Amino acid sequence: MNAPLRIDRSVMDARWVFPEVGNDKIHRMMTDFSVPEIVARLLVARNVEPEGVQKFLFPRMSTDFPDPFELKDMEPFSKWLANAITKGRKIAAFCDFDVDGSTSAAVWKKFFYHLGIDIPIYIPDRMSEGYGPNINALKKLKDDGAEIILMSDCGTTAFDVIAAGRELGLDICIFDHHEQGDHLPESTWIINPKREDDISGFDMLAAVGVTFLACVAINRALRESGYFAERNIPEAPLKEWLDLVALGTVCDMVPLTGPNRLLVRVGFQQMAKHTNVGLKALCEVGGLKKSPTPMDAGFVLGPRINAGSRVHQADLGARLLSCNDPEESKNLAWTLNDCNAKRKTIQNDMMREAIDQIEKKNLADRPIIMVADTSWHVGLNGLVAGQIKERFGKPACCIAFAPGMSGELEGRGSGRSVPGFNMAALFMAAKEAGLLIKGGGHAMAAGFTVEPEKIEELDSFFMSEAEKILGGVDLVSEEYVDGIASIRGIKPDFIKILEENVGPFGQENPEPKFILPHMRVVMVDIVGEHHVRVQMTESEGGARMKAMAFRAVGMPLGDLLLSSKGGRLLHLLGQFKVNHWNGVDNVEFMISDASPA
């Protein structure tokens, strides 16, 4: 790969690189599939082979829907649960408190409600219970009459809790997508595409995707057993719930590849119909006047659903998404909106204190940054870790403290990583070394629980392991560039071609990034405390374009933009967006990085 415009280290410590794409491949793609040059270039850059182009561009429910029975143990599980449903066994669901867990809970709730069964949903409190199942929760569900627990978005590494739950006499069925450890828990069933013995190839699915496929499988097993015919009820309207699958998939930042492209594309088409009254209410509260997009899910809907669990109301999101009453939905949506406003204030305070800690202790020069404070909110440590990672371009961990199940204070850590540094593997290694109570997650985002007296030793362990992983190499991230553009050459139709053909965008199918070279900042100011708003033109003048750099205030990017009005020329990296205002479409630029020209 070569560096366009020789940007080897931008203001955000990134190297800008073009993927190596052969022009012959691009021309063949254009000819064979009648797509514009930019679409062909993006397909080649994303390693889409000719035989996969139709499925990538235009996935169809009739031909591309994933077969649930390719997942290990799905077929016997579905027959087993269909039999349990027919016999009237009592079922409950235990789901994580994030958007993936909340949407999974809503899918379970709606599926069983259609069968005439109102199952209880247990969402653990983020602060007092933390991530994953705990024995007190399972005991409560057992005491309330549950015999079968459907556990979504957690459980794969909860060996002791699952074993204790089985000893209570519970049948525990896990539907997860987190990495497994050396072995699997002793659950009744575990459906997880990341199982070592699963060959489905569906490891990109979020937990809500796994949960939805389980409902598809159960629905089929019930049909084959005569359940619907004997009771004279229709089969479950599964497609209506794909809006929940799309929302959870996008917000959990799993790869938008394979079946996820279909699930998200069709799911957002369903979301536009506003058949889910809870989602409709949340869109109204969030000020969305048009059909929601994946970006809206990530920046408007998801944060509000998550906000409840961050301020001691963990089940609000699941209740909203499974609600069928318009008035109750409005009340829940406004409550979540208030929770989100409270969350922002607390998060800003934590971030200021974290930066102060990093500066006073000279932590920015370390290969992995870890901060901790007993006054911090445990529901927000992941968000703060993410902000630290973005600001310093390094793996980051943030630890807050809360009483554990025993009543003793424990550290709750969240980590966010950079490409090439597996955070989940680091935490699992620390757990095996006896430094953590629990730990795991994904390569880029993971969590752990630690005893306060072991934090200093854990910090040394993280430092040592990080140095081994990085080998003393200074981390410089790479920003992949899809093209060089000009203000005059970009029109709304161009953006729509990208969205309609190459979208939906997300992990492993990133929204195309372009360089605007030799830009002159004409006007610049700060919006909403954290964002930088720009009006820019090309070096020789002419047409202007509006641009935004979100959360750039106090960052090197924001400092550069704010100091460049009317002066030096800048190369800007970012993404184009179409802004709909008063019936007119205008192209704007979302700046993610910059470099002096």
Tell me if 77 sits within 8 A of 175, measured CB to CB.
no
pTM: 0.88
Q: What is the pLDDT of residue 2?
A: 40
Question: Residue 189's pLDDT is what?
Answer: 98
Strand 514-527, strand 148-152: pairing? unpaired
Q: Which residue has the tokens 């965008």?
A: 505
Domain 361-473 has CATH 3.10.310.30: yes
Q: Where are the domains of the chain?
A: 4-18+481-596, 20-52, 66-337, 361-473
Collapsing DSSP states into helix, strand and coil, what is residue 588?
Answer: strand
Give which of 186, 129, 494, 149 is closest to 312, Cα–Cα. Answer: 129
Name the CATH topology of 4-18+481-596.
Answer: OB fold (Dihydrolipoamide Acetyltransferase, E2P) (2.40.50)
**Does the domain made of 66-337 have the CATH classification 3.40.50.300?**
no
CA distance 208 to 547: 35
| 8 Å CB contact between 577 and 558 | no
Please list the pLDDT of the chain residue by residue as tens digits (597 residues): 344 578 988 999 889 998 888 889 999 999 999 999 999 999 999 999 999 999 999 999 999 999 999 999 999 999 999 999 999 999 999 999 999 999 999 999 999 999 999 999 999 998 888 889 999 999 999 999 999 999 999 999 999 999 999 999 999 999 999 988 889 999 999 999 999 999 999 999 999 999 999 999 999 999 999 999 999 999 999 999 999 999 999 999 999 999 999 999 999 999 999 999 999 999 999 999 889 999 999 999 999 999 999 887 899 999 999 999 999 999 999 999 999 999 999 999 999 999 999 999 999 989 999 999 999 998 899 999 999 998 888 999 999 998 887 788 999 999 999 888 899 999 999 999 999 998 888 888 999 999 999 999 999 999 999 888 777 666 677 899 999 999 999 999 999 999 999 999 998 899 999 999 999 999 999 998 889 999 999 988 889 999 999 999 988 999 999 999 877 899 999 999 998 887 888 999 999 999 999
Cα of 141 vs its chain's centroid, Å = 29
The pLDDT score that the predictor gives to residue 473 is 62
Which pLDDT score, from 0 to 100, does residue 1 have? 37
Query: How far apart are the C-alpha atoms of 382 and 398, rounded to whole Å?
Result: 7
At 412, give phi and psi (nearest 5°): -110, 110
Q: How far apart are the first and last CA of the chain?
A: 21
> What is the three-state SS of 71-86?
CCCHHHHHHHHHHHHH
How far apart are the C-alpha atoms of 121 and 128, rounded to whole Å? 18
